[in-house]
Amino acid sequence: MIKTIKEESSAEIVIKKSKFIANVFYVESEKQAQDILKEMTKKYNDAKHNCYAYVINELQEDGINKIQKSSDNGEPSGTAGAPLLDVIKKNGLTNVLIIVTRYFGGILLGTGGLVKAYTQSAVEAIRKNEIIEKEIGNIYNVEISYSDLKEFTHYCDMENITISDTEYNESINIIIETTAEKYDKLMNNKTNILNTKLLSNNNWIIIK
Angle CA 11–14–16, to nearest 5: 160
C-beta contacts of 43-49 below 8 A and 24+ residues apart = 44/101, 46/103, 47/101, 47/102, 47/103, 48/74, 48/102, 48/103, 48/104, 49/73, 49/74, 49/75, 49/80, 49/101, 49/102, 49/104
Say if CB 70 and CB 85 are below 8 A apart.
yes
Name 5's bridge partners: 131
pLDDT category at 207 given cuts 50, 70, 90 is: confident
Average the pLDDT over 187-198 and give the result. 93
Domains annotated for the chain, with CATH where assigned, are 2-129 (3.30.230.30), 135-207 (3.30.70.120)
Q: What is the pLDDT of residues 75-93, one digit of tens each?
A: 999 999 999 999 999 999 9
- Those residues with Cβ within 8 angstroms of residue 83's Cβ, 6 or more apart along the chain or in another chain: 115, 118, 119, 122
pLDDT category at 107 given cuts 50, 70, 90 is: confident
Q: What is the pLDDT of residues 63-76, one digit of tens each?
A: 899 999 999 999 99
- Those residues with Cβ within 8 angstroms of residue 148's Cβ, 6 or more apart along the chain or in another chain: 190, 192, 193
